[in-house]
Amino acid sequence: MSATVQTNHHPLAELWHYRHLLVSLTVRELRIRYKQSLLGVGWAICVPLSMMLIFTFVFTRAVNVVAAMNIDIPYALFAYTGLVPWAFFATGLNSSVNSLVNNRSLVTKVYFPREVLPMSAIGSAFVDFVVASTVLVGLVAYFHFFTDWNFNPSPAILFLPVVVVVQIIFMTGLALILSMANLFYRDVRQILSVVLQLWMFATNVVYPLKPDESLIGRAVALNPMTPLIGAYRDCLIKGQLPDSASFIYATLVAVALLVFGWTCFQRASYQFAERI
Amino acid sequence: MANGSVQLQDVSKRFYRGTAHDTLRDLLASGIRRLTRRGKPKTRDSFQAMENVTFQINPGEAVGLIGANGAGKSTALKIISRIMKPDTGTITTRGRLTALIEIGAGFHGDLTGRENVYMNASVLGMRKPEIDAKLDAIVAFSGVEAFLDTPVKRYSSGMQARLGFSVAAHVDPDVLLVDEVLSVGDVLFRQRCVDHMQKLVNNGTALLFVTHHLEQMQSFCSRAVVIDRGKIIHDGHTTDAVARYIDALKNGETSKTQATTQTVARVTGLVFKDKFNRETLTTHAHDTIDIDVRYELAKPVTNLVVEIDIRRDVGSRLANFSSIRDNVTFNTPKGAGCTTLKLPALPFLGGQYFFRAILRDPDSGNTIADTDYRFSLFIEDDDKGTGVLCLPHEWQSNNQPQPDIQHDIQHDIQTEQHANALP
């Protein structure tokens, strides 16, 4: 029993050919999300900003634990530089997990590289991420001019694109696996929303993490999101390059996941139209 | 530029019903069941959607794919377009392939017409510079220029379809697969799409056209593949293919009933002969045609009545010839027999016509054989008239010089005055 389908296109060449579809789908997703909404893309700012305000209030006013955190930058900056990349991560995954299932008519009626669907979900989350990041300029300026904290620009900020790319690679690998799994078993999206909640608190998003030698501590140390979020703070706020060992580890995990996810996705994509 | 081809070699596809696990709970449950070997294992309910299908489409060739509902046409399209993978067999595609299975794929009501054109065109594999270049042509073709920046949800369904059609019509692939999609929409628009596809084929595109609209298919496919229950039953000239298709349809419907009724008589064939007495499946308008009704009788019939009905593609009966109405019956012995109907100067315009033969035995009052519209004859017509009949006619000019009305009125007034002048 064998079946072969011969074409003169490599899957990557095929994906490259359909790059405009990726852009169109991303734009479509953004347009649909923000059409008939008063604030529009402003919501991309409001969500992480209000989260930042809540955590700042809780951790400094309700229970003052910030002092015990031992962080050398204002807590609001610390929280916002964690919450914005995390929102990108969580939104990207939550929308990509449904991307194949929600586009059923496309998947069953038209051929195109199916990777484009989860990738465009990440693409639209990325636009939100960029918009939300602009607020950081205002926040840094506020703390620089109105508090005794001083911002020291450093060439380390040039490393920022590398951090963003590694996060996108990591997310794409996950998104390919999750969207495919959700096509076969719709439980995946439910599980994902719970896992993401838990994952956020196992990451240095709103507090620093110092993994100890306990079993939980070792498990937390394996989380590649912690070095990534640390890297954002390092090169944006602290003006230093991230810790190389942990950042290389995160990069390797991200690349391995993308290769694995993409291979599985390629193999399974022929079944999508039948199983969706 | 277009120079594509498709080749299918022994392609088979089987579908399983009721075995997919849609939730993890199902998967766990069936896993446990399998482990503990309790409960009956689900039977693999399956059907063969395609069985050893082999055919090829060459560059610049337009091939029709016809078959009853569920015969495997859509599966074939989905497999060729790589939406699905076959179980066995080889598919080789040369060049860029586009499949039009759904019109307006990816359309979203909240997006404007323009945004949806970009969306739909990129779904079909067009690149942005290509879309930019063709946008004006697409919009002009669709005729919705005025509403281009209106969200598509405010469009009428016809407008949406036209816009979808227009994008589809402007994809210039090497291999084009077209499903039923082009058979909706108004006639003029449909004709435009067909003309456009014809142009593509002339430029070397390999076209596979799936349809139930036989006339439309015949208008530009010279070859057709007939598929029945997953198997190819005919691959060749379109006219023969149509006959085989109708045959397969009727066989599928009558196979059960025929077995139960006792056959007294059977029509073995309906044979068309041209003026040189040669068997044919095509003829010209105004030509003479002889129709041989060949049959077999299980017992002699003293007053056999032969009837022939003619109709167009789908529609009402165009003509009925009944020998008894012409006071002709045939005293026929048992065994093979043949009756010929001679039709001088066929009055039909070009197209496909379907014929049905009926045998009656007035003594028992029964119809003893009925072929239904299983036989077809293609009439070629250089005249290209529309309609069904070409009636004898002539034109005459009645433009006589008009009488001078002014003068007549003047005259009337004068006579009136004259009349008044009388005492």
Strand order in the sheet with B175-178: B97-100, B175-178, B206-210, B62-66, B223-228, B231-237
Kindly report the number of other CB atoms within 10 A of residue B19's CB atom: 11
| Confidence check: pLDDT of B38 > 60 | no
| Confidence check: pLDDT of B141 > 70 | yes
Q: Model confidence over A79-119: pLDDT tens digits?
A: 999 999 999 999 999 999 999 999 988 898 888 999 999 99
Mean pLDDT value across residues B337-362: 86
In sequence order, what are the beta bridge partners of B13? B50
pLDDT at B256: 41
Residue A234 in tokens = 């390092």
Kindly report the CATH number assigned to the domain that includes residue B287: 2.70.50.60
Answer whether A35 touches B (CB < 8 Å).
yes
**Which run of H or E residues covers position B12?**
strand B5-17
Residues B138 and B284 placed together within one structural domain of the fold:
no
B25 neighbourhood in chain A, CB within 8 Å: 187
Asked if residue B36 belongs to a domain, the reply is no
The answer to whether A95 and A29 are in contact (CB under 8 A) is yes
Residues B233 and B328 placed together within one structural domain of the fold:
no
pLDDT at B126: 87
Q: Is B72 exposed, middle or buried (0-12, 13-18, 19+ CB in 10 A)?
A: buried
Residues B193 and B278 placed together within one structural domain of the fold:
no
**Which run of H or E residues covers position A148?**
none
The answer to whether B11 and B89 are in contact (CB under 8 A) is yes
Residues B72 and B168 placed together within one structural domain of the fold:
yes
User: Which candidate from B119, B124, B127 shows the least CB-CB separation from A28?
Assistant: B119
Q: Model confidence over A12-40: pLDDT tens digits?
A: 888 888 898 999 899 888 888 887 787 88
Kindly report the number of other CB atoms within 10 A of residue A68's CB atom: 9
The whole-chain average pLDDT of chain A stands at 90
Largest Cα separation within chain B, whole Å, is: 129
pLDDT at A247: 95
Nearest to B272, CA basis, from B371, B341, B344: B341
Q: How confident is the model at residue A128 (pLDDT cuts 50, 70, 90)?
A: very high
Q: How confident is the model at residue A139 (pLDDT cuts 50, 70, 90)?
A: very high
Is B127 in Cβ contact with A3 (below 8 Å)? Answer: no
Mean pLDDT value across residues B152-172: 84
Give the range among B105-109, B189-193, B396-400 with minimum mean pLDDT. B189-193
| Confidence check: pLDDT of B19 > 70 | no
Nearest to A229, CA basis, from A88, A52, A50, A60: A88
Strand order in the sheet with B5-17: A3-6, B88-94, B5-17, B45-57
Q: How many domains does one find in chain B?
A: 2
B58: domain range?
5-19+45-242
Nearest CA in chain A to B12: A3
Residues B205 and B60 placed together within one structural domain of the fold:
yes
Asked if residue B103 belongs to a domain, the reply is yes
**Which run of H or E residues covers position B177?**
strand B175-178
User: Which candidate from A4, A107, A111 shows the least CB-CB separation from B81?
Assistant: A111
Mean pLDDT value across residues A217-229: 90
Which of B380, B399, B415 is a domain's end point? B380
A108 neighbourhood in chain B, CB within 8 Å: 83
Q: How confident is the model at residue B347 (pLDDT cuts 50, 70, 90)?
A: confident
Give the range among A113-117, A249-253, A256-260, B18-22 with minimum mean pLDDT. B18-22
Answer whether A263 touches B (CB < 8 Å).
no
Residues B299 and B232 placed together within one structural domain of the fold:
no
Q: Which residues contact B87 (CB under 8 A, 6 or more apart)?
A: A1, A3, B12, B13, B14
More confident residue, B208 or B39: B208
Asked if residue B385 belongs to a domain, the reply is no
Asked if residue B181 belongs to a domain, the reply is yes
Q: How confident is the model at residue B422 (pLDDT cuts 50, 70, 90)?
A: very low
Kindly report the number of other CB atoms within 10 A of residue B47's CB atom: 13
Asked if residue B412 belongs to a domain, the reply is no
Residue type, A245: A
Shortest alpha-carbon distance between residue B246 and chain A (Å): 28
Among B3, B75, B85, B135, most A C-beta atoms within 10 A, so best to mutate, is B85
Q: Which residues contact A115 (CB under 8 A, 6 or more apart)?
A: A15, A176, A262, A265
A147: alpha, beta or left? (left if phi > 0; alpha if psi -120 to 50): beta
* ipTM of the complex model: 0.80
Is B125 in Cβ contact with A112 (below 8 Å)? Answer: yes
Is B81 in Cβ contact with A20 (below 8 Å)? Answer: no
Is B102 in Cβ contact with A32 (below 8 Å)? Answer: no
Residue A265 in tokens = 């996705």
Give the range among A125-134, A178-187, B320-329 with minimum mean pLDDT. B320-329
pLDDT at A3: 60
Q: Is the dihedral of CA B220, B223, B227, B228 positive or negative?
A: positive
Residues B61 and B192 placed together within one structural domain of the fold:
yes
Asked if residue B388 belongs to a domain, the reply is no
Kindly report the CATH number assigned to the domain that includes residue B141: 3.40.50.300
Q: Model confidence over B232-279: pLDDT tens digits?
A: 988 988 878 887 887 777 666 544 444 434 567 888 888 898 888 888
Q: How confident is the model at residue A152 (pLDDT cuts 50, 70, 90)?
A: confident
- H helices within B210-296, ranges in order? 214-220, 238-260
Is B88 in Cβ contact with A2 (below 8 Å)? Answer: yes
DSSP B40: P
Residues B110 and B14 placed together within one structural domain of the fold:
yes
Kindly report the number of other CB atoms within 10 A of residue B38's CB atom: 8
pLDDT at A144: 93
The answer to whether A174 and A111 are in contact (CB under 8 A) is no
Q: What is the residue-wise DSSP string for A195-264? A: HHHHHHHTTTSSS-----SSHHHHHHHT-THHHHHHHHHIIIII-SPPPHHHHHHHHHHHHHHHHHHHHH
The beta strand positions in B298-365, using DSSP E, are: 301-312, 317-322, 330-332, 335-343, 351-361
Q: What is the residue-wise DSSP string for A59-126? A: IIIIS--HHHH--SS-HHHHHHHHHHHHHHHHHHHHHHHTHHHHTHHHHHH--S-TTHHHHHHHHHHH
DSSP B389: B
Q: Model confidence over B371-418: pLDDT tens digits?
A: 878 788 888 777 666 777 878 788 888 887 665 555 554 555 454 455
Q: How many residues does chain A have?
A: 276
Q: How confident is the model at residue B181 (pLDDT cuts 50, 70, 90)?
A: low
Q: Which residues contact B364 (CB under 8 A, 6 or more apart)?
A: none
Residue with tokens 């859509």: B74
| Confidence check: pLDDT of A158 > 80 | yes
Residues B66 and B117 placed together within one structural domain of the fold:
yes
More confident residue, B253 or A257: A257
Residues B286 and B187 placed together within one structural domain of the fold:
no
Asked if residue B400 belongs to a domain, the reply is no
Which of B242, B272, B301 is a domain's end point? B242
pLDDT at A54: 94
Which of B177, B212, B242 is a domain's end point? B242
pLDDT at A146: 92
Give the range among A44-58, B8-22, B184-198, B403-417 with minimum mean pLDDT. B403-417
Q: Which residues contact B140 (CB under 8 A, 6 or more apart)?
A: none
**Which run of H or E residues covers position B369?**
strand B366-370
Residues B206 and B87 placed together within one structural domain of the fold:
yes
Mean pLDDT value across residues B190-215: 84
Is A6 in Cβ contact with B91 (below 8 Å)? Answer: yes
CA dist A232 and B116 (Å) reads 37
The answer to whether B205 and B173 are in contact (CB under 8 A) is yes
Q: How far does chain A reach from its first CA to its final CA, in angstroms?
A: 24
Among B82, B132, B181, most A C-beta atoms within 10 A, so best to mutate, is B82
pLDDT at B182: 63
Shortest alpha-carbon distance between residue B106 and chain A (Å): 6
B115 neighbourhood in chain A, CB within 8 Å: 27-28, 31
User: Which candidate from A1, A8, A32 shows the least CB-CB separation from B108?
Assistant: A32
Strand order in the sheet with B335-343: B279-280, B265-273, B289-297, B335-343
Residues B74 and B187 placed together within one structural domain of the fold:
yes
pLDDT at A130: 95
Q: How many residues does chain B have?
A: 423
Task: Report the share of chain B in percent with pLDDT over 70.
Answer: 82
pLDDT at B258: 42
| Confidence check: pLDDT of A66 > 70 | yes
Task: Report the share of chain B in percent with pLDDT over 90.
Answer: 14
User: Which candidate from A3, A274, A275 shows the least CB-CB separation from B88?
Assistant: A3
Asked if residue B251 belongs to a domain, the reply is no
